[in-house]
Amino acid sequence: MLASAAHDSAPADADAGPTRTRWPCPAGAVEILPPDAAATDYERWRDARLEGLGGSDIAAVLGLVSWESEFGLWLTKIGMRPPVVETPMMTRGRYAELMLAQWFADQTGLALRRTGTWAVPEFDPETGRTVAGWMRCNPDRFTSDGGGVEFKAPDTDDWGNLWRDGPAEHATVQAEWCMAVTGCPHWYIVADGGRDGLRWWRIDRDEQRLQWMVDRAADWWWRHIVCGDPPDVDGSTATTEACKESSSPAGSLLGQVEVPGCAGWAHRRRELKDQMKTLKSELDVIENRFKAALLHHAVATDGGTPVLAWEYRKDQKVRMLKEPKK
């Protein structure tokens, strides 16, 4: 991940103010949809997202997030999954964007401009015409110093995990993808830091890294979308949820389907379930031995060394076994 410094209450840069506006002129990229397309023409906006890889997709392509898998992304791009229903966290982020944009502009002196969907054109040999290609992005804003900005509203858990040492990796690659598409020399990641106030980072363009990212994305798009070869199915929760969301309703399920080699899967599944049952029984015995020994004590020791603690949690109502802190 590119290294960049965090800034709090940064002074305004007079050189970068509205009087010295340098709106980016993306090299080769074209704006294919206006800023309000999601509200005014949702189907067209949705189709534009399905027909390419955007900033919110690239982290899944690179395997950097837990909430989306390559297989789940593939199901989305081929139209097998229903439209995403906005969650409370997504709604929070949408409203937070307005606040963060004004806050960031006030603190930096940069002017911001709303923008729509951008795509890198490519030649279509079937029609002989130049069309919007698969490389796409929806920047939150362009900045008057020639860059762009991505706004995020992490929750408390995210700050403790994903954002602890700087911008979350998924936000960084989203910013880098926007640079790859638009040609901008830098991008800002701006986040609501809660009690810590506004947090922001500047990511500068790294041609070698961007080329690596584009090559990975191009290979993914060619193999899985153009050639129709599905990505490998993994055991992630994201893939489980994607399969559920893409399943036909009970009343429209078809009959049998031939799945070569699935008898071997079923045999191995039975073996694993039997092993899990055996392991679970053995684990239960060991945990109960500790609980029986710790009825009136907090920590079990062996030779004076702490081994396992039985701690109270949730307002002292629940005791849970936990390895003691070293």
Predicted structure pTM score: 0.82
The residue among 151, 114, 93, 130 whose CA lies nearest residue 37 is 114
Task: Read off the tokens for 203.
Answer: 């990511």
Question: Residue 78 carries which DSSP code?
Answer: T
Handedness of CA 250, 256, 258, 263 (dihedral sign): positive
The residue among 99, 191, 203, 94 whose CA lies nearest residue 148 is 203
Cβ(217)–Cβ(135) under 8 Å? yes
Tell me the per-residue pLDDT of 196-212, one tens digit each, with 9 for 90 and over.
Answer: 889 999 999 999 999 99
Distances (CA, A) of 54 to 60, 125, 207, 220: 11, 23, 19, 13
pLDDT of residue 27: 59
**Tell me, what amino acid is at 206?**
D
Tell me the per-residue pLDDT of 2-22, one tens digit each, with 9 for 90 and over.
Answer: 333 334 333 333 333 333 344
Q: How far apart are the first and last CA of the chain?
A: 30
For 142, list phi and psi in degrees, rounded to 5: -100, 150
Selection from 41-45, 223-227, 318-322 with the highest mean pLDDT: 223-227
